Structure 1
Amino acid sequence: MQSNNDQIIKENIRNKMQPAVDVVFKEFHTEEKYMEALYIKTISDETIIYDKLLKPFFETNSHEEFSAYLRSNPQVKPFESEQKTLDELIKGVAVIFYKNSILLLDSKVDRNNSVLATTVETTIQGPQSGFSESLGTNLGLIRKRYPETTLNVESTIVGTISKTDVMILHDSKRADPDTLNRIKQFLASIDVHMFQTGEQLLDIIKKSNRALVPVMLVTERPDRVAVNLAAGKIIILVSGTPFAVVLPTVMKDFMSSMEDIYQTYWVAKFLQILRYIGFLTSLVLPGLYVAITSYNPELFRVQLALSIAGSRAGVPYPSFIEVLLMLFMMEMLTEASIRLPKAIGPTATTVGGLILGQAATEAGLVSNIMIIIVSSVAISNFVVPINAFSFTLRIMKYFVLAMGTIFGLVGVVIGFFMLVAYMVKLDSFGEPYLTLVQSKPGKE
């Protein structure tokens, strides 16, 4: 039997571990021996636990023989302190409670060989591993990067037919309980037959509030998930998809890249400013071009105004039709690059864009300056690091274009501020969409 001190230590370790579906506590009995084991199955190799612990436990006959085996096993370490045991436990080590001793079995598993490289959110520096379609592997990757006992993992099922396993992760010290309750209620209210990916949550929210901009971030990077957990966010993992959902999400999350952490201070600030400039350029440049050329050409220098007028001399359409024609062509090229096979997609769209641009210019359908405008808008749109927000930006610019076409420069300004006012009105599970800091700190 265990001493009172060992019993207290065991209860303290169990109580400090947050309840989670991957935390395993098991008891093992033979006629002469009794043992308990505590480990986290998503970051522990259960094959090692079976071969190095359970098999010898049931094959040895006496207590002395099994104790001698444990002492001689180089993978077994003695207990040093309660905190160090917890630190080892959340890194994949199995804790063994046997007789009057507490031992640690090194059963860490390396899942880096079973995951894929990032393909959507790529970075030059930093980790290159992304999530896989295995829920256990994804949870293990997060635990490797976020070794905290306060990480709480809850499991639920969504989908009346698919019965998809969904995990809710949060740091109990940092996450806001009210936000957590809202997210749980939202998941409980989902009534769909087939639930196969976290991106479906975007569609479910859109159907309920018709939001133009996404209010949740979908990521394939475990390092981004770890950073957001430390910031008090709630993470949703869905079985069968290599993406995690981060909640709540504000605009600055969509404009940040993991590259910002791995670069020097001024380089990171320069890249952040560059993204916001690209965002504004893609949003207002088409409307600004139409407003100035159609209503206020005097804003250009004389040489530039004459150059644009000469370029548009052979174009038979008003400037807004010219802009719409080229923007729609660019949208179709973008969609084609996504849908085509990877082997031919970039080549086909690059050649198609060059041929279409040159042919449209020579045919007199669009002006030379229009090719520059559309190219600038397309490049600026791709500067936004998160695709969901980049797709939204592709729609928002048409609203500003329409306002600029009808009301000129005043319409561009009004359209821009209307979009800002709309985003001010939005919130993501209680978090204001345009907030700069976490407004609801978690409990300590």
Structure 2
Amino acid sequence: MAADQKLHAEEARKCLQEQLKNIGDVEQRELKNEEGHAHLIYLKSMCDPILVNENLINRFYELDSMELFERFIGSFPSSLEPKDKQELLRNMLRGCVAIFIRDRVLLLDAVLVNAGAIQPASTENVMQGPDDSFTENIEVNLNMIRHRYQTTDLKTEFMTVGTISQTRLIIMYDEAKVEDSVLKELKKRLSELKADIIQSASEIERHTMHPKLRLFPTLMLTERPDRAVLNISQGKICVLMDSTGYVLLLPAIFNDFFTAMDDKIQLPPIGWFLKGIRYIALFITVMMPSLYVAFTSYNPEILKMQITLLIAGSRATVPYPSSFEVIFMLLAMEFLVEASVRLPKAVSQSATTVGGLILGTAATEAGLVSNVMIILVAAVAITNFVIPITMMSMGIRVTKYVFIVLSTFFGLVGIVLGIVSLIMYLTSLRSFGKPYLKMFAIEWRRKGDQQSG
């Protein structure tokens, strides 16, 4: 019977090593003394190193016999002896240390909790769901993802970038769902990255993606662990970087940047409605300023007579063309937004609020801009902030100026040409070989495969 139990323990250890291969944060320790030896296997990102050292390694060398060491481990309320390999693997992924001693397999709970270092999300807020965010410690971030994604298919590979900074990276992916071509291309680009100092995840996006001059991001930056876990479960790759509170998700398509985590929590019709609202906001923030210029300067007959007269009356005192008026007010809004980012938090909100009110009121009373223009600028600012991912909202802020220039010189014809050119440009973009405007094709294909299966 002892031989069978020993065989079972040895088979469990080999099975565990096979299941956890290609996982960079697996730690194996061989403990030996005059009385015998023990073998420890655990995940460094999930287990508290202090508990492992004090309760296992130090005690192994302090106790006189292996029998006393076994009894010491069994005295912990959190220790248990797994019944099968599935229970052993499940508890290891949860944060237990597997101890192989003589003919037995024991588990000791040593889960690492980093709640004190975790702060609420600041740039990607949600109404419901988890509110934690990544930290600047790469081990803490790895721990947060593993707590949510407990499977041996979650692989980790360690790299360093930056010839001087030697910044640590962790590439995380689900081995059963990731595409090998995307993974190989990512490793190739990271290995070819030539930069002395890498201090933020956005620098990796700028150095590795092609073409270099792009208006829209083709990799996603997020501070939310739940978004990272969701994307890993969809077959994407997560790149963690030391000293930054954001991770990279790839490949990223256009639709990903308009998806908030609330969409997954709410009922499906509500999630579809919220996403539709964001696309409407996209249209308003990009097209409304250029349409204002086209309608007032080129094609006022398209609008109803009452609206045309209303706009013309409000612009009666404005001494310059509508294009200059639009650009002047939009740039003033950009100055206020930039000031709110750069000022200290204690004064930023009050300074920008007072500045916006004074600027808008004074410009209107002086006849430099129309009342309709104030409403338009407010609508553009609000709709731009509806976009969930900041990287995409920055690109959208620049795009609207291109449409203003086109409408200034060509009117509605320029806007139509701009829309066609923008769609062609987005269609030409690729994120690690994936079409940027793939949109919902992945979800439709997955649902079709499930129904056929």
TM-score range, shorter chain: over 0.9
Is 1:255–2:265 an aligned residue pair? no
TM-score by length of 1: 0.96
Shift of 1:206: 6.4
1:69-148 aligned at under 5 Å gives the runs 69-148=72-151
Within 2, Cα distance between the matches of 1:353 and 1:185?
48
Whether 2:237 is the aligned partner of 1:218: answer: no
In the alignment, does 2:343 pair up with 1:325?
A: no
After superposing the two structures, state which structure 1 stretch, 400-409 or 246-255, moved more. 400-409
Deviation at 1:15, TM superposition (A): 0.6
Query: Which residue identity is paired with 1:238?
Result: M
CA distance in 2, matches of 1:322, 1:406: 15
Confirm whether residue 193 of structure 1 aligns to residue 196 of structure 2.
yes
Q: Distance in 2 between matches of 1:299 and 1:396?
A: 24
Q: Which residue identity is paired with 1:216?
A: L
Partner of 1:343: 346
CA contact (8 A) 2:250 2:431 kept: yes
By how many angstroms is 1:266 displaced?
2.4
Instruction: Name the stretch that deviates more: 194-203 or 377-386.
Output: 194-203
SS in 1 for 2:123: coil
- Aligned match of 1:383: 386
Correspondent of 1:154 among 154, 157, 163: 157
Matches within 5 A, 1:206-355: 208-355=211-358
Amino acid at match of 2:200: T
Q: For structure 2, list consecutive stretches of 5 or more residues without a partner in the other structure.
A: 447-453
CA drift of 1:5 comes to 2.7
Shift of 1:418: 0.9
Tell me the CA shift for residue 303 of structure 1: 1.3
TM-superposed CA distance for 1:72, in Å, is 2.8
Residue range with higher mean Cα deviation, 63-72 or 333-342: 63-72
What do residues 356-377 of structure 1 show as CA deviations (whole Å, max 9, x unaligned)? 1111111111111111111111
Contact 1:95 1:104 in 2 (8 A): yes
- State whether structure 2 residue 392 is matched by structure 1 residue 407: no
Deviations 1:273-319 (A, max 9, x none): 11000011001111111111111111221111111111111111011
Gaps of 5+ in 1: none
1:165 is aligned to 168
The AA in structure 2 aligned to 1:76 is: S
Shift of 1:75: 2.2
Per-residue Cα deviation, 1:80-126 (whole angstroms, up to 9, x for no partner):
11112111111111111111011110111222222111111111111
Work out whether residues 42 and 136 of structure 1, in 8 Å CA contact, stay in contact via their aligned partners in 2.
Answer: yes
Distance 2:158 2:115 in 1: 24
Query: What SS class does the counterpart of residue 209 from structure 1 fall into?
Result: coil
> How many angstroms apart in 1 are the aligned matches of 2:75 and 2:315?
86
- Cα distance in 1 between the residues matched to 2:286 and 2:161: 37
Q: How far apart are 1:208 and its partner, in Å?
A: 4.8
Q: Residue 57 of structure 1: CA displacement?
A: 1.4
8 A Cα contact 2:24 2:155, kept in partner: no
Alpha-carbon deviations, 1:60-79, whole Å to 9, x = none? 11222222223333221012
- Aligned partner of 2:451 in structure 1 is none
Q: Is the 8 A contact 1:39 1:93 kept in 2?
A: yes
Match of 2:13 among 4, 10, 21: 10
Aligned to 1:370: 373
Residues 179-207 of structure 1: per-residue CA shift (max 9 Å, x gap): 00111111111110101111102332468
- Show CA shifts across 1:33-78 (max 9, x none): 2100110111111222222222221111122222222333322101
Please tell me whether the aligned partners of residues 205 and 211 of structure 1 are also in contact (alpha carbons under 8 angstroms). Answer: no
Identical-residue share of aligned pairs (%)? 39
Secondary structure at 1:401 match in 2: helix
Structure 1 SS opposite 2:358:
helix
| 2:43 match | 40
Aligned CA RMSD, in angstroms, stands at 1.6
Residue 58 of structure 1 pairs with residue 61 of structure 2:
yes
Q: Deviation string for 1:349-397 (max 9, x for gaps)?
A: 1111111111111111111111111111111100001001000000001
Q: Paired residue for 2:437?
A: 434
